Structure formats: C-alpha cells, structure tokens
C-alpha cells in the first residue's frame, strides 16, 4: 500500500514511521519542498516529494497540516483520491472560523468543500502523535485501542479502515463526514485511549464540551 503524506510535522512523521514499519511505501511532503526533508527521509526510510507528487503517489493520502492552511492545497492534485483528514482546529493557531465556532459545520466538511472531487475521511486526528507507535497492537489484543473515522464514501471508509487494521488499531465508524465533529478538539472522544466499546460511548456523548488540559483547548 502506498501512502502519500502531506505535512511533515509530528503526526505526519509518526504515521510515516508506523506505516513503513508495517510494510507500506511512504512519500512524505511539506510546503517547503523535498529539499528540506533529507533528514526525515533518512531516519524514516521513506521517499520525499512535493505536495503534488505525494498526492499522486498515494493510494491513500494523509493530510497532517495545520487546519488553517487547507485553502492553500492544490485542488486538482487530490481529485479522485481518498484523503485522510488528520487536522484539528485550534483558533489561536489557525485564526477563528465563525462556522466552526458556532458548530454549523466541521473541519472535514470545510476541507471537502475545498477539495472538490476528493473522497475525504476524517481519521487519525483523535490520537496524540506520541501514542501512535506505542499504542498499536496486533489484531485480537485485549488492550487494542480503537480510533474513530467519519466519511460519506463507503469504499473510501473501508480503505481507511483497512489501513487502521494494518497499523494496529480497531476502527469505530462515527457515520457521515458531518459526524466527524463528534471527535474533534475538546469532545469526549478526542485523544482518549479507549477500546471499541468505550469509544462508541464517547462518540454518543453529545453533552457539553469536555476540555481536559490545555492541549485540548
């Protein structure tokens, strides 16, 4: 399986390491160009390229960029691609988006509106980068962690679920892309170490936001 990764920050590099460890081919990219990624290529054992090259390379394309940068993504490069949106909205970093503040829409819905023709699945946003490698477990492990996904395309979600399985995680499907708001920043399912039963309960909690620590604010 070929994974194109847009964004070479903590999440992008962690997924690159985990995917490579599990037999995937990986191409990493960032907005500054592949010449800035030589050390990452060496340490991770992955290929590097431009954003367009990584999008073309990947059977699945992971977006791990600051949410506020999504309007800069080249739309044509992602047409027809299964795009995993690992982004989270932090107003102090991204600037305020009124429709997100009022919960009229979700981060992934805004991304999907921009990436016309892509099949967007919310995934890998609800786990800390430090946990991605340490929490992975083989299928059937009693302490296997579950991660949430959301999307409108069933085939795309199946492909993303298969990747989770390969990387060492169970999946709980939260439903349509709009339901990705259930595991965005500060929600009960956000970045908590839960099994499938616990995660389903957290996703069903539609009460007030539950902020637990500054990293969730």
Average pLDDT score over residue span 42-66: 97
Whether pLDDT at 205 is above 90? no
Residue 210: what pLDDT?
53
CA distance 198 to 98: 31
Q: Nearest 5 degrees, angle CA 178-CA 192-CA 132? A: 95
pTM of the predicted structure, to 2 decimals: 0.93
Q: From its phi and psi, is residue 186 left (phi > 0), alpha (psi between -120 and 50) or beta?
A: left
> Which CATH superfamily includes the segment(s) 2-216?
NAD(P)-binding Rossmann-like Domain (3.40.50.720)
Residue 211: half-sphere exposure toward Cβ, Cα within 13 Å: 6
Residue 208: what pLDDT?
55
Q: Where are the domains of the chain?
A: 2-216
Average pLDDT score over residue span 204-208: 72
Whether pLDDT at 69 is above 90? yes
H helix or E strand, kind and range, residue 42: helix 38-44
Residue 64: what pLDDT?
97
H helix or E strand, kind and range, residue 147: strand 146-151
Residue 155: what pLDDT?
98
Average pLDDT, the chain: 94
Average pLDDT score over residue span 169-189: 95
φ, ψ dihedrals at 44, nearest 5°: -95, -15
The structure tokens listed for 62 are 């992971």
Q: Nearest 5 degrees, angle CA 121-CA 124-CA 155? A: 30
């Amino acid at each position: 399986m070929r994974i194109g990764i847009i964004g070479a920050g903590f999440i992008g590099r962690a997924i690159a390491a985990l995917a490579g460890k599990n037999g995937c081919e990986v191409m990493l990219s960032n907005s500054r160009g592949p010449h800035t990624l030589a050390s990452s290529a060496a340490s991770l054992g992955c290929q590097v390229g431009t954003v367009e090259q990584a999008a073309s390379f990947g059977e699945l394309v992971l977006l791990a960029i600051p949410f506020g940068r999504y309007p800069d993504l080249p739309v044509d490069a992602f047409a027809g691609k299964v795009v995993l949106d690992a982004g989270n909205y932090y107003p102090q970093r991204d600037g305020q988006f009124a429709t997100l503040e009022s919960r009229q829409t979700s981060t992934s819905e805004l991304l999907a509106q921009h990436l016309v023709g892509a099949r967007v699945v919310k995934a890998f946003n609800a786990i800390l980068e430090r946990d991605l490698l340490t929490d992975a477990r083989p299928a059937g492990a009693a302490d296997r962690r579950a991660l949430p996904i959301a999307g409108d395309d069933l085939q795309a979600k199946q492909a993303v679920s298969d990747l989770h399985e390969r990387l060492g995680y169970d999946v709980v499907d939260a439903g349509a892309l709009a339901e990705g708001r259930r595991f965005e920043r500060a929600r009960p399912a956000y970045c908590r170490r839960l099994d499938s039963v616990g995660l389903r309960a957290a996703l069903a909690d539609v009460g007030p936001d539950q902020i637990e620590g500054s990293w969730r604010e």
